[in-house]
Chain A
């Protein structure tokens, strides 16, 4: 699509020197989008919306927060009690983190179901995994800032993981801590990084969108756009659909903010951090639980050379990094599970497996949960490393529709 001829002389003058109006046109009214996107395609824009909410509330929270072990907890309580609408800012930020993960996890599973990671969207997908990793790092460090019991002890457990690496492990941990235990220097550097990483996140989201605009959206049929009838312009069709989605999302989000603000939180984090007192249960935030379960599932030395602790750490990181290889592990030419009668079921088993891992992640490390975690973690890897490549070879896909418009017109004729 070519740039429009700008009639307004002022707009024309600016656009010839800085083509910002052309850019806006290209990414809205001039951006072709499949006409058949379902509501599952709302979660990408919702994720960006959640990121913006997090950055805005975060900026205002920082104005009243003190990153010092003696004052952090008190400053957060001052925000809750004495800062005008401080409770609203903090509860939005706290619950916003959970919302961000809910939205992004749905976005990822949508990509898995409809094969959105397959060519030509490999880089788009990999950037998405990078975004998820950045989100996890940011969320983890943000949870440390209120300096409650779970902040301190969660940080202790997670930073200690790095000590599992041979030779360099202890140095990494000392570097992360800025000392020899989780203390004021740790809080300071986490605060600094917690403010930095969201902007890195923004940059990678920019790349993610850039890549998206180059390869265009996938769609529920998994058939690429071939002819003009397959697409509609992003604006106004998807701008209004996304806005409607945001309305629904805001109601879901704000229900928790106003009525269940501590639903996703741990009561222990309302106890000021105490290095002399370990809480009975150290549980990570819910969005880390499946990975935490994988971490704890490795209770045995691996191949006689990798001790259990290192094995667990490697398995946990591998479970995420593995996703980057997905475009090459899945050999099937068919993208959408709609046309994959067998793999479709494996997708749902994987989904159930992830939920089950999340459940196991919050259970104590004892039987029968340990063996269950091991089976569930093993299945997680088997899905990607065995089932997925095998399916591409043996599964017989249902016949694909000729084009998006053909399928859409057929559907409306049938109706």
Chain B
């Protein structure tokens, strides 16, 4: 009876299913990785962002959109205006009905135009249904992925490195655990099974700046790029923060001195 009542309350707060399914499930600590953008003085490493962008555009972009980032934003990675124009022009944008007076041309194909720097990254699929049809599940948009997961970049890194061929003992013996041969086991993914196969491997993308092309390095670089996609303001934010803090320190110290002076003769 007591259990029933508890369940009723849990259900009414909409907390039930997952709250109870998640408690007691085995999730290891996130893998250790560090980035230049962490900490008080942290800044993005532009070279790393460019490496990460290369991985995104050559690997991730085949399935994952990056809807909130525009080609013009790539200037933050050190690309020149002309380079950005070229990158954008490689993609075609479907024209909405009306721009060309019709949706399809005489050959029955969509009217398109090359993308320009002001356009957002062109998604790999026309819509969610097409993406699901090809992938079996919806590959999430990556624009905010490091902000939208507990653990942020550390989670995304651990996830990328967390695919396993063998299900570990701790999970195998868990109550309610069911093997799923159709999907991919990932120790960090809530529910363990993910539709995406492992993507990270050594030399998956060629680096031109001499950085070792290990799987760990690739994963670090792509996560740095994704963190930039989610928080492009980070460099500006932290550098402005330092100036503001310095100003406030001086101001507050002066206010304190003034307070001492004004109160000097008041016993309190």
Contacts and interface: CB of A to CB of B under 8 A. Distances in A.
Q: Do A and B come from one complex?
A: yes
Interface of A: 35-37, 77, 80-81, 87-88, 91, 153, 156-157, 160, 232, 236-237, 240-241, 243-244, 247-248, 250-251, 254-255, 257-259, 261-262, 267-268, 270-271, 278-282, 295-296, 298-300, 308-309, 312, 364-367, 370, 408-409, 411-412
A247 to B, nearest CB: 3
B14 A254 contact: no
Contacts of B12: 160, 309
Interface stretch (B17-25, B90-98, B100-108, B201-209): B17-25
Contacts, number: 142
Interface stretch (B55-63, B210-218, B233-241): B233-241
A236 B262 CA distance: 7
A247 B252 contact: yes
B149 interface: yes
Given A240-B262, A267-B147, A282 B6 contact: no
A293 to B, nearest CB: 11
B153 to A, nearest CB: 12
Rank and list the top 9 A-B pairs by shortest CB-CB distance, nearest first: A258-B241, A280-B18, A247-B252, A364-B19, A270-B148, A365-B10, A244-B255, A270-B147, A87-B233
Interface of B: 2, 5-6, 8-10, 12-23, 40, 68, 73, 143-144, 147-150, 152, 190, 230, 232-233, 237-238, 240-241, 244-245, 248-249, 251-252, 255-256, 258-259, 262-263, 266-268
Given A80-B233, A254-B241, A300-B5, A157 B40 contact: no
A364 B245 contact: no
A214 to B, nearest CB: 24
A366 B248 contact: no
Nearest to B2: A299
Main secondary structure of the interface of A (DSSP, over half): helix
Contacts of A408: 267-268
A35 B241 contact: no
Contact of B248 (A156, A237, A251, A295): A251
Most A Cβ at <10 Å: residue of B15, B23, B238: B15
Contacts of B5: 299-300, 308
A254 B244 contact: yes
Contacts of A278: 14, 17-18
A366 B6 contact: yes
A217 to B, nearest CB: 13
Contacts of A77: 68, 143-144
Given A35-B266, A366-B23, A409-B267, 12 more contacts: A80-B233, A240-B262, A251-B252, A258-B237, A258-B240, A258-B245, A267-B147, A280-B21, A282-B14, A298-B9, A367-B6, A408-B267
